[in-house]
Amino acid sequence: MKISIYDTNDAMSQAAAELVAKQLAEKPNSVICFPSGDSPTGMLGYIVQWANEGKINLSECYFVGLDEWVGMDENDQGSCKYYLKHNFFDKLNNKLNNVTLFDAKVADLDAECERMNNFISSKGGLDVMIVGIGMNGHLGLNEPGTPFDLYAHRSELDPVTVQVGQKYFTKETPLTEGITLGLKHLAEAGKAVLIASGAKKANIIHESLQGTVSTEVPASILQTLPNALVLLDKDAASELEHAS
């Protein structure tokens, strides 16, 4: 695990976008997983800007979604699909051809997990998997207690996730279950990338990166991954010991 700390959220976001740009320059048909939420917005802004300026080429790569609230799609404000559509896909001048996202409205969610697993496997695995971190240490919707050896799976949402998740919606929205790529995907990715910013994340960042490795803090798996890259702004890194 390598930790990089930046002065601002913008600098961290640009560094994350540069990591994606470098990956695409080296392997144009890379398979890349993007999250939704607050953390990736700046990064996606840079990727959109550079793609529209012709500085990076997204035409050959494959984009995979990280997770979704069960029962929601791109028409639900607050869904992961809605976020990616409005912050990424719709802002690109050229339509992306190779996008694979969870369909969280299907009757057979286990079969949907297998579909995602099979797609990723058919492409040789994820080249880059980018995740944010929840206030309870979740990555994607891998909630506290999730085994480290799972691929895509259904997830019963932790109360903290249910509470914090309300910020993505304009009205109180029942959240009970999610569907998500697994921590095994993160472990097997060419690059496992965590991005986080803000002082509110400082405590869980410290617990995840310098505390005990445990399934109760899913992000602690990063300590065990030689392929892990952690990009933080100074506020998110403020409780780390011996960080620079």
SS3 34: strand
The alpha helices in 76-148, defined as continuous H runs, are 80-87, 109-122
Reply yes or no on whether 138 is catalytic.
yes
Reply yes or no on whether 177 is catalytic.
no
**How many CB atoms sit inside 10 A of residue 10's CB?**
14
pLDDT at 243 exceeding the cut of 70: no
Look up residue 175 and give its amino acid. L
pLDDT > 90: percent of the chain:
86
Domain-wise residue ranges, the chain: 2-233
Reply yes or no on whether 67 is catalytic.
yes
Closest by alpha carbon to 151, among 33, 30, 5? 33
Total count of residues recorded for the chain: 244
β-partners of residue 180 are 67, 153
Predicted structure pTM score: 0.95
Q: What is the pLDDT of residues 48-92, one digit of tens each?
A: 999 999 999 999 999 999 999 999 888 888 889 999 999 999 999
| Distance set, CA 78 to CA 29, 50, 108, 230 (Å) | 30, 26, 22, 26
Mean pLDDT rounded to a whole number for the chain? 94
pLDDT, position 202: 97
* 65 contacts 100 by C-beta, under 8 angstroms: yes
Given the residues 143, 158, 207, 235, the one annotated as active site: 143
Q: What is the pLDDT of residues 85-139, one digit of tens each?
A: 999 999 999 999 899 999 999 999 999 999 999 999 999 999 999 999 999 999 9
Given the candidates 3.40.50.1360, 1.10.3720.10, 3.40.47.10, 3.40.640.10, the CATH classification of the domain at 2-233 is 3.40.50.1360
